[in-house]
């Protein structure tokens, strides 16, 4: 009898271990949004695929075709959403919802999609960590990409033709931007309310307002980037700061902006070291570096902006 009991316990232990291993196993699902039949073993929507996954991950969802849906990724960990060539996600809410919303999730990768329309294109919010790589995010009513209380790494994305900002970083969020292009938006990018943007080899061009800015105790670090053709290139306000150095990767080029190359506003600070801030105020008025009231401060305008014009006075 004792042997039978021990054997039963052993069997239950093995069964539990097998179940646990199965539960922890990575899942790889396919979505074909152009699929009309029941074959091929693929889901027809990204939402349907997410419902089949263990949120703990790791999981990979590979997407083909033109998807018309608003995707919500909530409380996931280690999820990769990757596009086959030509795959897209388009707003199905008539502009009332974001196209992709990432909430309370960790280690989320969205790669290779064209994201069309929506209230915002992609939002990463509520303490999420996101990576966006190689996406085109366009034609939203608001922001192409928006962060709120979250962190993200963006690389090789094209953010264009959005009604507000290409990139909006809000409420103590942090973004690192590598080789991104933010073009033809109302604003290129802005960090607001204790947030930060680090931009390296990125481009902020031909935006109707600010190329890239920081407000309300926020910070910018700009390396080897191009900021041109905007109303103002860089704008700092409300006790914000920017560093625009050349640390061996080449200078940032802030040129050809309509008014000011860099506008340093109330209680804000800008530091230049080897930047090229010249050829701005193409609209006829402005400076390459403008110190605006009240109590703005700079270092390096006399020696490290490539000979551009300024009204700043340094000690």
The DSSP symbol for 22 reads H
Please work out, in degrees rounded to the nearest 5, the angle formed at the alpha carbon of residue 138 by the alpha carbons of 109 and 82: 25
CATH code for 30-299? 2.160.20.10
Tokens matching residue 281 = 């105020």
DSSP-derived pairing of the beta strands 27-32 and 59-64? parallel
Beta carbons within 10 angstroms of residue 131's beta carbon: 17
Run of H or E including 50:
helix 46-51
What order do you get walking across the sheet with 203-205 strand by strand? 66-68, 88-90, 114-116, 136-138, 158-160, 181-183, 203-205, 226-228, 253-255, 276-277
Where residue 25 falls among pLDDT bands split at 50, 70, 90? Answer: low
Task: Using the predicted structure, report yes or no on whether residue 45 has a pLDDT greater than 90.
Answer: yes
- Could you state, in order of their start, the residue ranges of all structural domains in the chain? 30-299
Q: Looking at residue 248, what is its pLDDT?
A: 82
CB 94 within 8 A of CB 117: no
Looking at residue 39, its pLDDT comes to 53
pLDDT digits (tens, 9 = 90+) for 212-236: 999 999 999 999 999 999 999 999 9
Going by C-alpha positions, the residue among 25, 34, 129, 120 that lies closest to residue 71 is 120
The Cβ-side half-sphere exposure at 265, using a 13 Å CA radius, reads 15
Count Cα atoms within 13 angstroms, Cβ side, for 280.
32
In whole angstroms, what is the distance from residue 110 CA to residue 80 CA? 6
Residue 11 has pLDDT above 60, yes or no: no
Mean pLDDT of 111-125: 99
Q: pLDDT tens for residues 163-182? A: 999 999 999 999 999 999 99
- Residue 13 confidence (pLDDT) above 80: no
Percentage of the chain modeled with pLDDT above 70: 90
Q: Say whether 21 sits in a helix, a strand or coil.
A: helix
pLDDT digits (tens, 9 = 90+) for 123-142: 999 999 999 999 999 999 99
Peptide linkage before 236 cis (omega within 30 of 0): no
Residue 112 pLDDT greater than 80, yes or no: yes
Q: 58-98: per-residue pLDDT in tens?
A: 999 999 999 999 999 999 999 999 999 999 999 999 999 99
Distances (CA, A) of 260 to 11, 109, 229, 290, 298: 74, 36, 11, 7, 15
pLDDT of residue 37: 67
Question: In the predicted model, is pLDDT for residue 3 greater than 90?
Answer: no
pLDDT digits (tens, 9 = 90+) for 141-170: 999 999 999 999 999 999 999 999 999 999
The answer to whether 11 and 42 have CB atoms below 8 angstroms apart is no
């Amino acid at each position: 009898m004792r042997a039978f009991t021990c054997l039963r316990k052993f069997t239950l232990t093995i069964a539990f271990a097998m179940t646990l291993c199965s539960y922890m196993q990575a899942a790889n699902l396919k979505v074909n949004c152009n699929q009309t039949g029941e074959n091929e073993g693929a889901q027809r929507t990204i939402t349907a695929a997410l419902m089949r996954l263990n949120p703990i991950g790791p999981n990979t969802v590979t997407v083909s075709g033109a998807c018309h849906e608003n995707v919500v990724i909530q409380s996931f960990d280690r999820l990769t959403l990757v596009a086959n060539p030509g795959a897209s996600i388009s707003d199905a809410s008539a502009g009332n919802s974001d196209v992709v919303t990432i909430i309370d999730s960790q280690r989320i990768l969205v790669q290779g999609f064209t994201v069309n329309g929506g209230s915002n294109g992609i939002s990463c919010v509520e303490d999420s960590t996101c990576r966006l790589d190689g996406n085109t995010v366009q034609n939203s009513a608001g922001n192409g990409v928006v962060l709120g209380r979250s962190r993200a790494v963006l690389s090789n994305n094209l953010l264009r033709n959005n009604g507000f900002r290409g990139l909006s970083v809000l409420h103590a969020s942090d973004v690192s931007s590598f080789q991104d292009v933010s073009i033809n938006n109302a604003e290129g990018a802005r960090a607001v309310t204790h947030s930060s943007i680090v931009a390296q080899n990125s481009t902020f061009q031909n935006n109707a307002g600010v190329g890239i800015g920081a407000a309300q105790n926020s910070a910018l670090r700009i390396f080897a980037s191009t900021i041109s053709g905007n109303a103002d290139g860089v704008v700092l306000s409300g006790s914000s700061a920017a560093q625009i150095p050349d640390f061996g990767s080449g200078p940032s080029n802030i040129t050809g902006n309509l008014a000011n190359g860099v506008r340093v506003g109330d209680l804000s600070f800008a530091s230049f070291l080897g930047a090229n801030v010249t050829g701005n105020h193409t609209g006829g008025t402005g400076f390459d570096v403008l110190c605006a009231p009240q109590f703005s401060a700079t270092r390096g305008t006399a020696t490290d902006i490539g000979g551009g014009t300024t009204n700043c006075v340094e000690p």
